[in-house]
């Protein structure tokens, strides 16, 4: 699989894209054009609950709007990004294979920089956009420091949380230093997914955000003259941690779902998720015991929003707009936040909803393992995408061949 840096270079050689799409401000025309279209939604397929939710979205948009949704399950978003790049290089400016893509971070930055997204900005013109909490949740318009400019539409919130079983661990470690000390005293009881898996890379970003001498550096692109020194504390920490990991870091889980299974089976004592409701959702699904709870580090953990975007050459642009707008509907957002379904927090401002729609959220039981919003603590902003690329490359160079 090509790296994101290589995708940038390849796309830069291609001719300009023909990216304009339907005008969402003429929504009746969008609905008419979308009727009968099939939208190929390229999205991570590693979580059965999320897959089931996307299946429900498909049922609803077909019933309501005559749009067929096909979930193309991905192991890694960069696979779909690579396909879009290949089509651009080949001069395929229409009838592309990807109509809608679940994306954020360096993948969005790559697509935006290379002109691979449908323009002009459309997300903030969707009928449901006025319900989005732009003020209270600023990451819905800034993706890893990169302004979205309406080129992607948010559909969920994320924050790194840790899962533990209270039967085996009455008091979890609440800082990176405490985690390292605990791992040394409890060898083999902690691990993280192998980068460049997104969740594993997020753990690395969490550590770097705490260990770097000046966190403000992370809000700007990597400084090539300083990057080796800037990331040195992260890898010093990992060198200290790895000898005490599950299987002594000679092997790593390949996904967060695998890590959660290790927690359920008693092989490890701490897992983590980028979904604050994940533990409650897993308990509801019978995947974790009801003694599992959630904790966060005292100094805060990494948080962001996740989005959907439409490629420049999508075959069903109108249908993709319809799906993106339905994902923002109070009905779809409330269902998504239900731990019995997914447990993913909403991007909407509840005070902007009608009483009926607000009630959809008020009746939700967020589950015994879901922390109150106040208890989630401060959010550490995502670094600029270039940092994730560099630390993944360095991680693979140091540990990938083990």
Q: What does the pLDDT look like over 34-66, one tens digit per residue?
A: 999 999 999 999 889 999 999 999 999 999 999
SS3 state at 145: coil
pTM, two decimals, is: 0.87
pLDDT of residue 76: 86
CA pair distance 31, 330, nearest whole angstrom: 19
What angle do the packed helices 106-113 and 385-399 form, to 10 degrees? 120
Distance of CA 31 to the CA centre of its chain: 28
pLDDT of residue 2: 44
Task: Give the single-character DSSP code of 315.
Answer: S
Which domains occur in the chain, in start order? Answer: 4-156+307-370 (3.40.190.10), 161-303+380-399 (3.40.190.10)
Task: Give the single-character DSSP code of 164.
Answer: E
pLDDT confidence tier of residue 401, bands split at 50, 70 and 90: low
Contact (Cβ atoms closer than 8 angstroms) between residue 55 and residue 47: no
Provide, rounded to the nearest whole percent, the portion of the chain with pLDDT above 70: 95
pLDDT confidence tier of residue 375, bands split at 50, 70 and 90: confident
CA pair distance 305, 104, nearest whole angstrom: 8
């Amino acid at each position: 699989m090509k790296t994101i840096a290589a995708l940038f270079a390849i796309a830069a050689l291609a001719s300009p894209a023909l990216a304009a799409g339907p005008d969402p401000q003429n929504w009746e025309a969008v609905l008419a054009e979308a009727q009968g279209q099939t939208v190929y939604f390229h999205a991570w397929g590693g979580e059965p609950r999320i897959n089931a939710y996307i299946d429900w979205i498909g049922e609803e948009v077909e019933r309501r709007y005559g749009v067929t949704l096909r979930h193309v399950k991905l192991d890694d978003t960069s696979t779909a990004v690579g396909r879009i790049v290949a089509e651009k290089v080949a001069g395929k400016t229409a009838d592309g294979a990807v109509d809608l893509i679940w994306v954020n971070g360096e993948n969005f930055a790559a697509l935006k920089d290379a002109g691979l997204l449908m323009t002009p900005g459309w997300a903030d013109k969707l009928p449901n956009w006025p319900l989005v909490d732009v003020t209270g949740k600023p990451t819905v318009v800034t993706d890893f420091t990169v302004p979205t400019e309406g080129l992607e539409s948010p559909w969920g919130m994320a924050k790194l949380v840790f899962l533990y079983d209270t039967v085996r661990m009455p008091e979890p470690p609440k800082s990176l230093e405490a985690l390292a000390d605990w791992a040394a005293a409890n060898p083999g009881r902690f691990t993280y997914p192998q980068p460049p898996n997104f969740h594993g890379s997020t753990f690395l970003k969490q550590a770097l955000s705490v260990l770097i001498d000046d966190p403000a550096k992370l809000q700007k692109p990597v400084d090539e003259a300083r990057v080796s020194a800037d990331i040195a504390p992260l890898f010093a920490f990992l060198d200290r941690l790895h000898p005490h990991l599950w299987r002594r870091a000679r092997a790593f889980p390949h996904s967060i779902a695998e890590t959660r299974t290790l927690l359920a089976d008693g092989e490890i004592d701490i897992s983590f998720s980028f979904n604050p409701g994940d533990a409650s959702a897993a308990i509801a699904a019978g995947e974790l015991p009801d003694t599992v709870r959630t904790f966060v580090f005292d100094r805060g953990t990494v948080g962001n929003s996740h989005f959907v975007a439409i490629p420049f050459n999508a075959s069903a642009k109108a249908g993709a707009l319809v799906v993106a707008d339905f994902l923002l509907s109070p009905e779809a957002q409330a269902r998504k936040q239900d731990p019995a379904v997914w447990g993913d927090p909403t991007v909407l401002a509840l005070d902007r909803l009608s009483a009926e729609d607000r009630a959809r959220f008020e009746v939700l039981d967020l589950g015994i393992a879901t922390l109150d919003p106040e208890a989630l603590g401060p959010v550490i902003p995502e670094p600029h995408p270039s940092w994730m690329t560099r630390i993944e490359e360095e991680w693979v160079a140091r540990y990938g061949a083990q």
